[in-house]
Amino acid sequence: MSSIPPPVALLPVSRRRSLLRGLAALCWLWPSVVLACPVCFVAREASRLAFLWTAILMTFLPLCMMAGIVYFLWRQAQRSARENQGDAPPDSPKPH
């Protein structure tokens, strides 16, 4: 199986360097082209705060979900260990 080289790899080394220098100069001279997202250059405070809170939510939501799963599994393991020992759970009445 032969792989096809990317178009840049077909250029001579001197041409690749010139291309990379040109791209770097373009990014340096025209920075609005390389902005990551539209929120990065919005001057309105409301937009920036919305972006900040969304980023915080997207950071902590998966962590909270994983913590909830771990807590659920831990509770199930505790309940199973109690049942294997023959103890009744504390919230259920003991038979006489």
Q: What's the number of domains the chain is made of? A: 2
Q: Is residue 78 part of a domain?
A: yes
pTM of the predicted model, to two decimals? 0.43
What's the rounded Cα separation, in Å, for the pair 96 and 86? 15
Confidence of residue 68 (pLDDT cuts 50, 70, 90): very high
Pair 50, 84 in one domain: yes
Q: Is residue 26 part of a domain?
A: yes
**pLDDT recorded at residue 77:** 94
Q: Which domain holds residue 53?
A: 45-90
| Stronger pLDDT, 12 or 66, i.e. the higher one | 66
Q: Is residue 95 part of a domain?
A: no
Q: What is the mean pLDDT of residues 63-90?
A: 88
Environment class of 51 (CB within 10 Å of its CB; exposed 0-12, middle 13-18, buried 19+): middle
Pair 30, 49 in one domain: no
Pair 49, 82 in one domain: yes
Nearest to 53 by CA among 42, 43, 45, 41: 45
**pLDDT recorded at residue 9:** 59
Distance of CA 70 to the CA centre of its chain: 19
Pair 22, 55 in one domain: no
| Cβ-contact 33, 27 below 8 angstroms | yes
